[in-house]
Each structure stands twice: as C-alpha cells, then as structure tokens.
C-alpha cells in the first residue's frame, strides 16, 4: 500500500469525509421501506417524480394522438360468452376510413418509439417496493375502507395507495386520521395531471403509473382478497410473467382493425377470455412499456380505443387495455384460465342472480396449466382451484346506498319469507372454494366501518341510521346460525 504524504493525506481525508457525507445524505433521503406509510421525507420526492414523469409523458401522448375521426360501428358485439373451443370468426363491427386506419397505425408506432427513446421518461416508482393501488372517492370510499379492512384482517402488511380524481373527492378526516393507521394513504391525480384531464375508467392506469410501488397489486375499491395477496408476488406465474390478469365472462372481442393498427397477429376467439380488471398484478420494472401503451389506449380510449378493443361488449372501457398493450409491445403476461364465477341467489325459475365475481388463485391455476390441465376446456381434468379475489360489484356494498330496501334483485333481503338473508349462497361449490365464511367477515368489517364514531363519510347524511340498519341486518343474519349459512370442511 503506498504511503500518503501529509498534503495528500489531508486531501484524502477531506475527500473521504465528503464521500461519507454524500452517502449519509443519500441514505437519509432515500425512500423509506415499503412498510412505512407516508412521511414528509417520502411524500416530497414522490410528487417531484410524478410531476417530472408527466411533464415528459403528456407531450408524447399529445404529439402521438390518433388525429382522425372516431371509429364508427355497424353493431355492438354484445354479451358473447367465452368459449375456449370456439372456431367462430372475430366480430368485425367497427369502421374506419382507409386513410384514418393508416393515420392511427402510424401514430401508434410513433408513440411506442417515442416512449422507448425518451431518456427523461423515468419511472415514478421506488425500486424494490411493492404495494396495493386502488382508486376511490364519493360513494366508493366507504366500500374501499371495508375492502381495506378485509386486507388487514388477513394479516397483510402491504402498504396501500388510494387515488382520488381530484381534491373534491379528498376527505380529510378519513385520509388524514383513519387510513394512516391502516397502512394506507390518499393521493390526488389532479395534483399531477390537472383538473378533468382524465375521467372514470382512465383513472386506473394513471394511478398505477404514478404509484410509488415497483410491484403493484391492483384492486378495485369493491374488490378484496381471501388470502394475503403478497404471496402472489413471490411465486409463479408472476415471477416469470410480470403481469397477471383475470378473466371476465365474455369473449375477447377486439376489432380486426385494432390488430392492423397495432401491427400484430390477430388471435383466434378461443385464445383467452376478455379481461376483468377488478384485480391484476404488474411489475413496473419489467412492464413499463406495457403500462405506457395502456396509458395511450386509455388517454384516447373514449374517442378511439375503447371501441376498437371491445366493440360494445359488456364493461367496455379500460379492461382490455392491459393485455392488449402487453402483446403489442411483446412483453409477457399470464391470463388466469379458470373461469370467473358469479355468486348470489338462486332464481326461482333457475339460474343465478349474481352479486359478486369470484376469481381464482393464480398459483394453483398456473400449476394446472403448466401440467397441461386446462379446466377451461374440460372441467373434469382436475378439481377447481381455490378462490382468491371477490369483486363485490353488484350492488356496491355501501350501507349508505342501495344495499338495503331498494328492491335490487341481488339485495341481501331475499329469504323466502321476505326476511333478511345472505347475498352469497350459490353455486354452493363456488362458495366452498372460499374456505371460510367470507360473507360474514365482510359484513363484520362493514359493521365496524358503519358504527365507528370516528368514521364519517361525506356521502353518509345520517350515519346513526346507517349504523342502526347494519346492526339490525347483522343481528338478523349473522348473530345466530341459519339454515342458509355456508358449510365448510
């Protein structure tokens, strides 16, 4: 080792001290672990990263717009059920002038290239982080809080970010006093993108892009897991695919024109079902281009792409933008093959009056499909995997809204004698896949939210009456065992 002279030794010590100071400052200002929610140290850098990202992305979006009239249509695809053995041709119900088709194709390619080459388009997330992202506001906020409590009931410690469209939806008492104790925080999209820049279905993709997490579990406000969802991030298929989606009931009815525009081969109708985007998993480290293209599809969704991706099928909106974006940029994905199931009441004449959608454990589904066992083609090849997510979408289980007394066909007041009853009774084999009494647990959390004196939502005009209704329903349905209670084990 060389001997340093006094002058050089002094310089060495000074330089070393400066380096240590820089490292100390870097460590001090680095984002805290994902389990810490939120702090001033974390909040300021996130806002700066969001603003810098949008400052670069917005001009790319606007410079690569379709710049042509919206597609026309001759008819709607409607509710076409998914058939894994179908040989039917793809519905061709959308119209574009040849010159407009070419314009959209060029704009689509230009956007992808601009995103790939934009050096300043740096991701917002903090490396190595993971968490749950959702959107809520107005009448969805009470539903979100019940879903959040279901997540914590499982013992999940994942941090949660819930995005509101604008400050009109920001409820200070809930956001500042209630959610931090549950490991969650509120963020406002209009603080980044401006007032009324994005609406409704478009909110989801921008919430994901602007979130601080590298690995994202998306859950709609009315969606909750039956098992700690973090287990999905450390297992197949997510580890290899980086994007995991769940199916809808319907066929995937994207227009043939879309495949021309995106310059990709058109898949057969049997390839996969359409997506049900109440829940999905995505790695922003591996799928940033997928998310950027999905943002493009959503930004121009109402005018151009929602029609092209669904052609008037049920739920037309953001649901098809994620998988289609992945295929367009050549990034992998895993679409859960097990069919989504509705749970609800048996109709008097047969069939189900659905109240929630049940999605399958992707780890178990992947184990089956990897072994060549495709239950979507032949349910007899293996028992159904366990359920993993419930999307309680119809009606929304907001006790301040239409769950009680509004004569909804799915309202939980449908025992034969007209008394209060359960919402989720059939099919019994699907309810058995829950593995515990999920409905009772969900109503326990709805009851906790409704009757906690510290919790009050702007949309709840008479909180005392809401609590009384929930307590009465709880006493009638869950306080004592009933014949319609699910039997497990």
The CATH number that applies at residue 327 is: 3.90.550
Q: What is the DSSP letter of 169?
A: G
Query: What's the rounded mean pLDDT across residues 479-485?
Result: 80
Let me know if 197 is exposed, middle or buried by CB neighbors in 10 A (0-12, 13-18, 19+): middle
Both 303 and 445 in a single domain? Answer: no
Strand ranges (DSSP E) for 220-305?
Answer: 223-225, 243-251, 273-283
Both 331 and 394 in a single domain? Answer: no
Domain membership flag for residue 81: no
Dihedral sign computed on CA atoms, order 275, 278, 283, 287: positive
Q: 335, 352, 367: which is the final residue of a domain?
A: 335
Q: Which helix (H) or strand (E) element contains residue 215?
A: strand 215-219
Q: What is the DSSP letter of 304?
A: I
CA gap 467, 470 in Å, rounded? 5
Both 328 and 432 in a single domain? Answer: no
Cβ–Cβ under 8 Å, residues 326 and 319:
no
Percentage with pLDDT > 90 across the chain: 76
Residue reference for tokens 């539903």: 143
**pLDDT exceeds cutoff 60 at 38:** no
Domain membership flag for residue 196: yes
Q: Which helix (H) or strand (E) element contains residue 134?
A: strand 130-135
Both 238 and 387 in a single domain? Answer: no
CA gap 186, 207 in Å, rounded? 11
Cβ–Cβ under 8 Å, residues 445 and 384:
no
Cβ–Cβ under 8 Å, residues 130 and 162:
no
Cβ–Cβ under 8 Å, residues 123 and 295:
no
- The pLDDT assigned to 484 comes to 80
Q: Which helix (H) or strand (E) element contains residue 49?
A: helix 40-63
CA gap 256, 90 in Å, rounded? 7
Both 411 and 432 in a single domain? Answer: yes
> What does each C-alpha distance from 187 to 36, 50, 174, 282 come to in angstroms?
16, 11, 12, 20
- Name the average pLDDT for the chain: 88
Q: What is the DSSP letter of 202?
A: G
| 428-440 CB burial, b ≥16 within 10 A, e <16 | eebbebbeebbbe
Q: 320, 335, 350: which is the final residue of a domain?
A: 335
Please provide the size of the chain in residues. Answer: 489
Both 57 and 147 in a single domain? Answer: yes
Minimal CA–CA distance to 206: which of 59, 53, 310?
Answer: 53
pLDDT tens-digit readout, 317-372: 999 999 999 999 999 999 999 999 999 888 778 888 778 999 999 999 999 999 99
Q: How many helices (H) and strands (E) does the chain have?
A: 16, 13
Q: 285, 304, 335: which is the final residue of a domain?
A: 335
Domain membership flag for residue 195: yes
pTM reported for the whole predicted model: 0.89
Cβ–Cβ under 8 Å, residues 30 and 44:
no
Let me know if 123 is exposed, middle or buried by CB neighbors in 10 A (0-12, 13-18, 19+): middle
Confidence of residue 199 (pLDDT cuts 50, 70, 90): confident
> What does each C-alpha distance from 113 to 12, 118, 193, 304, 375 come to in angstroms?
46, 8, 23, 20, 39
Domain count, the chain: 2
Angle at 484 (CA atoms; ends 483, 485), nearest 5 degrees:
95
Domain membership flag for residue 85: no
- The pLDDT assigned to 394 comes to 79
Confidence of residue 17 (pLDDT cuts 50, 70, 90): very low
Both 137 and 194 in a single domain? Answer: yes
Compute CA 68 distance to the chain's CA centroid, rounded to the nearest angstrom: 31
Domain membership flag for residue 300: yes
Domain membership flag for residue 67: yes
CA gap 29, 38 in Å, rounded? 14
Q: Which residue has the higher pLDDT, 10 or 225?
A: 225
Domain membership flag for residue 489: no
Which pairs count as long-range contacts for 197-203, CB under 8 Å and 24+ apart, including other chains? 198/165, 198/298, 198/299, 199/165, 199/302, 200/317, 201/298, 201/301, 201/306, 201/317, 201/318, 202/298, 202/299, 202/301, 202/302, 202/318, 203/135, 203/163, 203/165
Domain that holds residue 365: 341-479
Both 248 and 328 in a single domain? Answer: yes
Q: What is the token pair recorded at 350? A: 């047969």
CA gap 417, 67 in Å, rounded? 59
Both 324 and 210 in a single domain? Answer: yes
Both 357 and 462 in a single domain? Answer: yes
- The pLDDT assigned to 97 comes to 98
Query: What's the rounded mean pLDDT across residues 206-229?
Result: 97
Minimal CA–CA distance to 294: which of 350, 249, 336, 243?
Answer: 243
Compute CA 30 distance to the chain's CA centroid, rounded to the nearest angstrom: 28
Pairing status of strand 352-360 against strand 387-391:
antiparallel
Query: What's the rounded mean pLDDT across residues 287-303?
Result: 97
For 344-382, the DSSP string reads EEE-TTSSEEEEEEEEE-HHHHHHHHHTT--TTT-GGGS
Contacts of 404 (CB under 8 A, 6+ apart): 411, 413, 469, 473
From 11-25, 81-95, 430-444, the region with the lowest mean pLDDT: 11-25
From 142-146, 239-243, 398-402, the region with the lowest mean pLDDT: 398-402
Both 353 and 241 in a single domain? Answer: no
Both 324 and 348 in a single domain? Answer: no
CA gap 140, 49 in Å, rounded? 28
Domain membership flag for residue 21: no
CA gap 328, 180 in Å, rounded? 39
Confidence of residue 415 (pLDDT cuts 50, 70, 90): low
Contacts of 26 (CB under 8 A, 6+ apart): none
Query: What's the rounded mean pLDDT across residues 465-469?
Result: 92
Cβ–Cβ under 8 Å, residues 175 and 199:
no
CA gap 102, 453 in Å, rounded? 59
Contacts of 399 (CB under 8 A, 6+ apart): 142, 446, 450, 466, 469, 470
> What does each C-alpha distance from 218 to 230, 246, 447 come to in angstroms?
12, 12, 25
């Amino acid at each position: 080792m060389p001997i340093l002279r006094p002058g050089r030794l002094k310089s060495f010590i000074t330089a070393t001290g400066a380096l240590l100071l820089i490292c100390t400052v870097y460590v001090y200002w680095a984002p805290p672990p994902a389990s810490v929610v939120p702090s001033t140290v974390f909040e300021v850098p996130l806002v700066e990263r969001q603003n810098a990202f949008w400052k670069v992305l917005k001009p790319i979006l606007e410079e690569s717009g379709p710049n042509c009239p919206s597609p026309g249509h001759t008819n709607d695809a409607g509710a076409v059920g998914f058939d894994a053995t179908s040989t039917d041709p793809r519905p061709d119900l959308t119209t574009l002038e040849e010159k407009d088709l070419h314009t959209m194709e060029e704009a689509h390619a230009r956007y992808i290239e601009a995103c790939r080459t934009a050096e300043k388009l740096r991701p917002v997330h903090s490396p190595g982080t993971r968490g749950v992202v959702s959107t809520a506001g107005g009448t969805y906020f009470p539903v979100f809080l019940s879903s959040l409590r279901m997540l914590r009931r499982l013992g999940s410690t994942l941090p949660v970010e819930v995005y509101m469209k604008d400050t009109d939806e920001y409820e200070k008492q809930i956001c500042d006093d209630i959610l931090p104790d549950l490991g969650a925080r509120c963020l406002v999209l209009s603080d980044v993108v401006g007032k009324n820049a994005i609406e409704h279905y478009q909110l989801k993709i921008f919430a994901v892009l602007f979130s601080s997490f590298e690995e994202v579990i998306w859950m709609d406000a009315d969606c909750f897991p039956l098992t700690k969802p973090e287990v999905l991030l450390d297992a197949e298929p997510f580890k290899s695919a980086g994007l995991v989606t769940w199916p809808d009931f319907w066929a995937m009815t994207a227009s043939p024109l879309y495949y021309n525009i995106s310059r990709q081969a058109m898949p057969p109708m049997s390839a996969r079902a359409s997506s049900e985007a109440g829940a999905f998993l995505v790695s922003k480290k591996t799928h940033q281009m997928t998310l950027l293209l999905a943002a493009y599809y959503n930004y121009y969704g109402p005018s151009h792409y929602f029609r092209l991706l669904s052609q008037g099928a049920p739920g037309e909106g953001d649901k098809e933008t994620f998988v289609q974006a992945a295929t367009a940029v050549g990034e992998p994905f895993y679409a859960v093959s097990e069919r989504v199931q509705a749970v609800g009441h048996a109709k008097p004449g047969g069939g189900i009056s659905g109240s929630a959608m049940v999605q399958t454990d992707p780890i178990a589904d992947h184990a089956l499909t990897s072994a060549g066992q495709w239950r979507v083609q032949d349910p007899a090849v293996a028992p159904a995997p366990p359920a993993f997510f419930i999307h309680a979408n119809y009606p929304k289980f907001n006790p301040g809204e239409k769950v009680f007394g509004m004569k909804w066909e799915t309202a939980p007041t449908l025992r034969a004698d007209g008394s209060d009853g359960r919402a989720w009774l059939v099919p019994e084999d699907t309810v058995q896949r829950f593995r515990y009494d999920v409905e009772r647990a969900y109503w326990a959390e709805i009851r906790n939210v409704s009757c906690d004196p510290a919790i009050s939502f702007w949309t709840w005009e008479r909180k005392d009456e809401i609590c009384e209704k929930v307590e009465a329903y709880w006493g009638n349905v869950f306080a004592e065992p009933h014949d319609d209670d699910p039997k497990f084990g």
